[in-house]
Amino acid sequence: MQKLSPDNAVAQVPTHVAIIMDGNGRWAKARGLPRVAGHQRGAESVRKTVKACRELGIGYLTLYAFSSENWKRPAEEVGDLMQLLRVYLRKELNELHANNVRVQFIGDRARLAKDITELIEHAEGKTRANTGLCLIIAVNYGGQAEIVNACRRIAIMVKEGDLGLDEISEETVAANMETAGLPDPDLLIRTSGEQRLSNFLLWQSAYSELVFMDILWPDFSKKSLLEAIEEYQRRDRRYGATSG
Ligand code: FPP
């Protein structure tokens, strides 16, 4: 947790905020627009949210941009989402870098187009030494697959005699997740009124405060983020212990 200036209404901000950005399609439909228009406005919300997180001194922001289940959408929509990711990385990288933002990706890159994996690698490489906000973008990400992959890696270590069975702990699993080295999310927000995790950060969200908001992602603003943080601050985080 980091402190803000005393005159700010928000006394403490979470170190790590994770967001399931939902409702782009409904936003577009309500306006008689194609779904891609909702995703475009959603990308604008991403830009604004990154700026708001920087201003609030949040350490880590993880965004669910494309789930491993999103391939089931029509090819045109998948193409639109991938194109938005390209445009975001091409247009925003210099500004992100200038603002000391470190960009990281989680998710299976094997199925992504080669130029996208190149953009991802370039963004990660260029911003690796930055010390400001860490922006983690989940693309072709699925929490269950991530846990399965961690199990496989651990099983290989055991099989090869590098790790004893009784040495496997929560720390071993965490260290073999794609998020190794990152703190777990303190606050997990989902927009659009749906109340489920949809395979996002299943392991890491064990003790996250979940805040479900009725707002659609394209309408999400700094004010919405502050509302979620205020809700988070009203929660009593006990991590399984009794309240003090
Ligand atoms: C959910 O809305 C949103 C997505 C599946 C994609 C999120 C992508 C963006 C916000 C834009 C690109 C991202 C970056 C990082 C530039 P939905 O389509 O499921 O909405 P619906 O439930 O109302 O149909």
Q: What percent of the chain has pLDDT over 90?
A: 91
Position 132 in a domain:
yes
pLDDT tens digits along 60-119: 999 999 999 999 999 999 999 999 999 999 999 999 999 999 999 999 999 999 999 999
Segment among 7-11, 31-35, 127-131, 208-212 with least mean pLDDT: 7-11
Residue in the structure block whose two tokens are 């703190």: 183
Position 3 in a domain:
no
Task: Tell how far the Cα of 79 is from the centroid of ligand 1, in angstroms.
Answer: 13
pLDDT tens digits along 117-158: 999 999 999 999 999 999 999 999 999 999 999 999 999 999
Position 163 in a domain:
no
Position 159 in a domain:
no
Position 53 in a domain:
yes
Position 72 in a domain:
yes
Q: What is the DSSP pairing of strand 134-141 with strand 102-106?
A: parallel
The type of residue at 162 is D
How many structural domains compose the chain? 1
Position 153 in a domain:
no
Q: Is the pLDDT of residue 243 over 90?
A: no
Domain of residue 73 covers: 16-142+187-234
Classify residue 73 as left (phi > 0), alpha (psi -120 to 50) or beta: beta
Task: Tell me the best of 24, 103, 106, 112 to mutate to test the pocket of ligand 1, counting ligand atoms within 8 Å of each CB and taking the most.
Answer: 24
Task: Tell how far the Cα of 176 is from the centroid of ligand 1, in angstroms.
Answer: 28
Position 179 in a domain:
no
Q: What is the mean pLDDT of the chain?
A: 95
Q: Domain holding 70: CATH number?
A: 3.40.1180.10
The pTM for the full model equals 0.94
In which band, very low, low, confident or very high, does the pLDDT at 183 lie, cut at 50, 70 and 90?
very high
Neighbour tally for 24: CB within 10 Å: 24
